[in-house]
Structure 1
Amino acid sequence: MSTSDGSETADSMDEDTSQVLHARRSKVWEHYEKELVVVEGDLKAVCKYCRGKFHTKFGTSSLRTHIAEDCRSIEDACRKRFLLTMKKKQSKGLVMFDEKVSR
């Protein structure tokens, strides 16, 4: 089913939803509402704290940045716990180059 006004079809919305659901393994989703909302044809996640709406089509980096740095409504303790989970995830399998050691 196609429309001439540029609105998305049910099939294309299902594709977008399945891509986003796949990404919900990330801990960041704990800070967003379960249901995505459609804003001007785009699926967006809603922050549980400030109600801000963010794109998820290309992954969760904007969601992580919002919780880690930008959300003014999140409690400091909650933000710190989130940041700790991100640091643990980054440290797994990450190899750091130390210029001093290589000399």
Structure 2
Amino acid sequence: MTRVWNTPIFAIATVSFTVDALFSAVTGPITAWLSKQRLLEWARRWVTSLGPYQSLALFAVPVIILEPAKPLSAYLLGTGPRSYRLRRRRSPEGHRCGKTISVE
């Protein structure tokens, strides 16, 4: 039974990687143009003026605060109130949320 799923999964992965590569080719010039703009010059100066420990805190604190929410949301999607489970099954957003949580 496992071999039956190999071809469709391989096809889906191939399409996914191809779409990702095409999307990256489109966003490359946009990213280059945005990098030349000085939209957040003040933020760049502030971040580059920080020391190593301040820079670590700048990026680590949001991760420390938000990471516990992922297992909690997976738990609620799996065992929470019935409305969470029904919403996950019926809506594409719930499926994407569960997929994102399981991947990360």
Give the TM-score category using the shorter length. Answer: under 0.3
Return the TM-score normalized by structure 2: 0.26
Return the TM-score normalized by structure 1: 0.26
In terms of fraction of residues, the more strand-rich structure is: 1
If asked which structure has higher relative contact order (CA below 8 Å, sep 6+), I would say 1
In terms of fraction of residues, the more helix-rich structure is: 2
The higher radius of gyration belongs to 2
